[in-house]
């Protein structure tokens, strides 16, 4: 079996028990774990923290709109191969002419096709025992990518292009595979069927307090509580892009250097709100809310 201890988080990382269990289950079954959830809820953190906590090798494949399965597994570098073979011809010609200097192929041998295989993160992860393989933001990929990937992952074996070399992992030292998605595009049903699925719920106030504790252990409770209240209030406004965990952590980073009393005031005035609100329309809406709130508290006499 792969590394299947039940990992519940580290000093720096609060792993939601549900997520920890899903992760454990995925590793035990040797299936990829597909994590979805709002941005900024720590989807990517899980494999990173797990790998660093247990000191395992981590291989990351950040998915983009140009991703294809070749980059992920391995591709044959035709350009280098052609270049080197041409160089051999050139060198032969030079030799005929009695020239000593030769062009170098950088130690690669055109007879050995394996020299021209560029291994991607998947092949590397399979070659490294009990490693962690992160496929980040798979929803950014072209539509055929998840299905291609599915085929690659469902066999514990890759065949390298051209060289025919086999890269495989036994069930005992399978890498732990974690796939994250922001749900910007639906993934094929067949693909989801092969994964253990976990949806990260947005943490409630209590859990948020614990997360903040992990990141900023030295902030006074009062500040944290005020910030959390404000933060969840903002989240109820129905903003286009509601602030997430990442944003409140950044906000507190900004607040924490100030004296406690000022800090609470700052939070109530929403100082540094740029850390929380990311779009212009949202900012306008928040300003309207603050404005009406101020008006209300001053009995409507404000001229501002």
Partner 1 sequence: MFSSLPESFRAHGLSADVRTLLVLRKAMQKELVKTLGDMYNVLKGIVVKEPTDLGPFTRAYYEYFLDIAIRHDERLDDAVLRSKTFQEWRANQEGEHDISTEDLINKFLDQVHLTKYDIKEIISGKDIFDNDDPDRKDEDSNDNSDEKPVERNLDKMVDYSGLTLEELLERMKKVQEQQKSKHSGGSHWIGTGGTSPYGHGGAAKDGIRVGGTGGGKMARKVIGDKNYYPVDTNALLNDDNVDAALSAIKGVIEESAIEKLDVPLTIKTGLKRGGLFLPELVSETTEQMRIILLIDNGGYSMSPYIRSVRHLFGKMRTRFAHDLEVFYFHNTIYDVVYKDDRRSKRLPIEQLVKYAKEYRVFFIGDAAMAPYEINHTSVNSLMAITKHFKKHVWLNPEPLRYWQSTETIQLIKRIIPMYPLTPNGIERAVRHMNGKGVG
Which residues of this chain interact with partner 1, rule CB under 8 A? 1, 6, 17-18, 20-22, 24-26, 28-29, 31, 36, 65-68, 78-79, 82-83, 86, 90, 142-143, 145, 183-186, 189, 192-193, 196-199, 201, 240-241, 279
Closest CA to 50 of 110, 125, 140, 130: 130
The residues, any chain, with a CB within 8 Å of residue 257's CB and separated by 6 or more, are none
Tokens linked to 65:
């709109």
Residue 203: CB minimum distance to partner 1, A: 11
Both tokens assigned to 179: 């796939």
Query: Least separation, in Å, of the C-beta of 191 and partner 1?
Result: 10
Closest CA to 79 of 101, 49, 105: 105
How many C-beta atoms lie closer than 10 Å to residue 189's C-beta? 7
Q: Are 179 and 195 in contact (CB under 8 A)?
A: yes
Signed CA dihedral, 70, 74, 78, 79: sign only = positive
Classify residue 40 by its DSSP letter: T
Q: Which is nearer to partner 1, 214 or 216 (CB)?
A: 214
Nearer to partner 1 by Cβ, of 198 and 266: the residue is: 198
Q: Given the complex with partner 1, which of 206 and 257 has the nearer CB atom? A: 206
User: Nearest approach, Cβ of 194 to partner 1 (angstroms)?
Assistant: 9
Q: Least CB distance from residue 165 to partner 1, whole Å?
A: 22
- Tell me the closest approach of the beta carbon of residue 251 to partner 1, in angstroms: 22
Q: What is the pairing mode between strands 117-119 and 74-76?
A: antiparallel
User: Which residue, 87 or 258, is less far from partner 1 as judged by CB?
Assistant: 87
Work out how close the CB of 164 gets to partner 1 at its nearest, in angstroms, rounded to a whole number. Answer: 22
Nearer CB in complex with partner 1: 168/279: 279
CB of 142 or CB of 271, closer to partner 1: 142
Residue 297 to residue 60: CA distance in whole angstroms: 51
């Amino acid at each position: 079996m792969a590394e299947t201890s039940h990992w519940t988080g580290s000093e720096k990382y609060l792993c939601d028990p549900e997520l920890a269990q899903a992760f454990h289950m995925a590793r035990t079954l040797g299936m990829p774990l597909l994590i979805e959830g709002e941005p900024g809820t720590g989807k990517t953190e899980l494999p990173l923290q797990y790998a660093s906590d247990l000191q395992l090798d981590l291989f990351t494949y950040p998915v983009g709109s140009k991703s294809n399965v070749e980059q992920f597994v391995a591709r044959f570098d035709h350009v280098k191969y052609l270049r080197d073979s041409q160089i051999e011809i050139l060198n032969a010609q030079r030799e005929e002419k009695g020239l000593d200097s030769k062009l170098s192929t950088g130690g690669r041998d055109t007879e050995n096709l394996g020299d021209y295989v560029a291994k991607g993160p998947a092949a590397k992860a399979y070659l490294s025992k009990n490693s962690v393989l992160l496929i980040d933001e798979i929803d950014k990929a072209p539509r055929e990518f998840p299905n291609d990937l599915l085929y690659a992952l469902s066999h514990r074996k890759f065949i390298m292009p051209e060289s025919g070399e086999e890269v495989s992992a036994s069930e005992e030292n399978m890498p732990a595979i974690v796939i994250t998605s922001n749900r910007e595009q639906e993934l094929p049903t067949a693909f989801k069927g092969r994964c253990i699925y976990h949806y990260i719920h947005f943490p409630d106030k209590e859990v948020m307090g614990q997360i903040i504790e992990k990141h900023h252990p030295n902030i006074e409770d009062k500040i944290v509580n005020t910030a959390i209240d404000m933060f969840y209030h903002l989240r109820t406004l129905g903003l286009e892009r509601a602030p997430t965990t990442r944003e409140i952590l950044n906000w507190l980073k900004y607040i924490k250097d100030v004296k406690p009393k000022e800090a609470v005031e700052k939070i109530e005035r929403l100082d540094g709100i740029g850390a929380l609100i990311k779009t212009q329309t949202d900012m306008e809406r928040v300003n309207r809310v603050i404005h009406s709130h101020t008006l209300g508290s001053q009995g409507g006499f404000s001229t501002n």
